[in-house]
Amino acid sequence: MRTATVHEIKKELSSLSPGALIELCLRLAKYKKDNKELLTFLLFEAHDTEGYMESVRQDMKENMEALSSNSYLLKKGLRKILRTTNKYIRYAANKEVEVELLLYFCQQVKERKLPISKSTQLSNLYEQLLKKIQKAISGLHEDLQYDYLKRLKGL
């Protein structure tokens, strides 16, 4: 089966009635949890990015508290938290949200004094994360860049 391009899908969707669009969205939401989460964000949380970021931060904080001290489980747990955070960042599709959440992740790692330097994998993950934050900051307005770079240097 050939997958249609975004342009073809957009053209086809524009020709459908509102009722048919609702049916397609509901059917799409039934099959994938990610689709349902994205629809939930777009319908209920997209207008309030501050509230959305706060809920993601709270989720991140709870997951960080549940991390094991075992090195293997710590690596797996941190990667899972970061993977979930990246998913939430994709939903928001906003550079400022991306910078805020990734900075919060790094801040939590530092506050909890997790042994990042003892593992090459974790130190590489942390370094790549800092580079990703730097790249995201470069796409923001100069005033925001200054504030975020100041926070980044603190890490």
Write down the pLDDT at residue 145.
85
9 CB neighbour count, 10 Å cutoff: 11
Tell me which residue of 85, 23, 39 sits closest to 58, measured CA to CA. Answer: 85
pLDDT (0 to 100) of residue 9:
87
State the residue for tokens 């249609």: 4
Listed residue (102, 76, 80) closest to 89, CA to CA? 102
* 30-43: burial string, b at 16+ Cβ within 10 Å, e else: eeeeeeeebeebee
pLDDT of residue 132: 92
12-66 pLDDT, tens digit per residue, is 889 989 999 899 888 988 888 988 988 889 888 889 999 999 999 999 999 999 9
CB atoms within 10 A of CB 97: 19
Q: Using H for helix, E for strand and C for coil, what is the string for 63-116?
A: HHHCCCCCHHHHHHHHHHHHHHHHHHHHHHCCHHHHHHHHHHHHHHHHHCCCCH
What sign does the CA torsion over 54, 34, 89, 117 have?
A: positive
**Confidence grade of residue 79 (pLDDT, cut at 50, 70, 90):** very high
Q: Which residues contact 128 (CB under 8 A, 6 or more apart)?
A: none
46 secondary structure, DSSP code: T
- 102 touches 136 (CB < 8 A): yes
